[in-house]
Amino acid sequence: MRKTWLIFSQAVTVAVAVLFVVATLKPDWLQRRAGSANPVPVLLPSEPVATNPGGAGVVTGAASYAAAAKRAAPAVVSIVTSKSASSRHPRGDDPWFRYFFGEQSPSPGGIGSGVIVSANGYVLTNNHVIDGMDGIEVALSDGRRAKAEVIGADPEADLAVLRIALDKLPVVAFGDSDALQVGDVVLAIGNPFGVGQTVTAGIVSALGRNSLGINTFENFIQTDAAINPGNSGGALVDAAGSLMGVNTAIYSRSGGNLGIGFAIPATTARQVMDALIRDGQVTRGWIGVEPRELTPEIAETFKLPATRGVLITGVLQGGPAGEAGLKPGDVVQRVGEERVDNTAQLLNAVAALKPKSKASLGVQRGERELELEVLVAQRPKQLQAQARDQ
């Protein structure tokens, strides 16, 4: 009996030792053996994960966005600007001026980003990147550099179109920014702080942001993809590498990224670009009113029955709205078929109207509801510096 037990214990010891060696050196043998009897799914880090519980929907994930970055990054450029000494303050040589204000050295320029959107050399960027600059140079990721010509700029949308004379240019494709949803993955590509081209990832955290006081016309995509100084004018692309927006601004108290960045939608950028290339300017509608937000406090103070819309506090005499019969104290609730609930919506709705066309305004005047027809005029250029005059 003792001899039998000794043989058994030795056999078990040898079997355990063999199993340990196989598990250490050839673990796939054990997985293959187990899989033939009862397969168990193993998710690898590089594989997309898909679930479809009850056929209700499909959730997919990707471990890498290298393909999207590779597709879009070559078309994102660095823009280096400079300002000549002749643009210094006109009283810079006055000794009393220098005594009180110090030496006024010319602006050294700056570094921003841009996106090549056409094989013809058209580059989209922000107006504030090139505004007031005398020298503008575009640097591609392949090392080429070229002086840029300003085709046109639209300060109210903070967009500008440049052109460079180079061949075989990489181009980013426009995407459908109207189809973006909160939660979609996006990449921000640009040249933050002048360190060189950088790609950051995040999601769309909000859509239709306005009333931020950044531009006159605002309809921003908000993202938590890291955007920093120098990213202005760069590309916001989706997971396929298509252009969804032009990075414009960040919310920050320190000057660095706090996870809230804003981009101009690609749909808007393309409309502005086409107008600047075709006409050299962007034509917008204008009716000549001064609007104000209709808050519950204002409605109660002035005993206004309207609970939504935009309060009109001023009407330009002889202007389109004045000729149509609009009066101070009226509340505009609709422009054409588009409902307006705040000044930003009214501004955008009127700007979208074609000059010399007729549009209907849905107005609340006291207890009465009115329908006024206005002949739309072209927005004057001097209003570009007045963000809320419509």
In the annotation, is 128 catalytic? yes
Asked whether 272 and 155 are in contact (CB, 8 A), the reply is no
Rounded to whole angstroms, how far apart are CA atoms 244 and 268? 10
Q: In what order do the strands lie in the sheet with 76-82?
A: 145-147, 135-139, 76-82, 110-116, 122-125, 159-163, 149-154
Tell which residue, 255, 287, 310, has the closest CA to residue 379: 287
Count of CA atoms in the C-beta half-sphere (13 A) of 317:
0
Rounded to whole angstroms, how far apart are CA atoms 114 and 124? 6
Which 3 state secondary structure label does DSSP give 253? Answer: coil
Neighbours of 278 (CB within 10 A): 9
Query: With the C-alpha atoms ordered 178, 182, 183, 189, is the resulting torsion angle positive or negative?
Result: positive
Tell which residue, 22, 43, 47, has the closest CA to residue 33: 22
What lies within 8 Å, CB to CB, of 250 at 6+ separation is 227, 228, 229, 231, 257, 258, 260, 261, 262
Of the candidates 78, 113, 232, 242, the residue annotated as catalytic is 232
Tell which residue, 312, 306, 347, has the closest CA to residue 328: 312
Of the candidates 78, 113, 154, 158, the residue annotated as catalytic is 158
Scan for tokens 């919506």, then name that residue.
345
Tokens (6 digits) for 99: 């005594």
In the annotation, is 89 catalytic? no
Scan for tokens 């090549």, then name that residue.
116
Rounded to whole angstroms, how far apart are CA atoms 238 and 249? 18
Rg of the chain (C-alpha set): 30
Of the candidates 78, 113, 128, 224, the residue annotated as catalytic is 128
The residues facing 106 across adjacent strands are none
Total count of residues recorded for the chain: 390
Neighbours of 25 (CB within 10 A): 8
The residues annotated with a catalytic role in the active site are 128, 158, 232
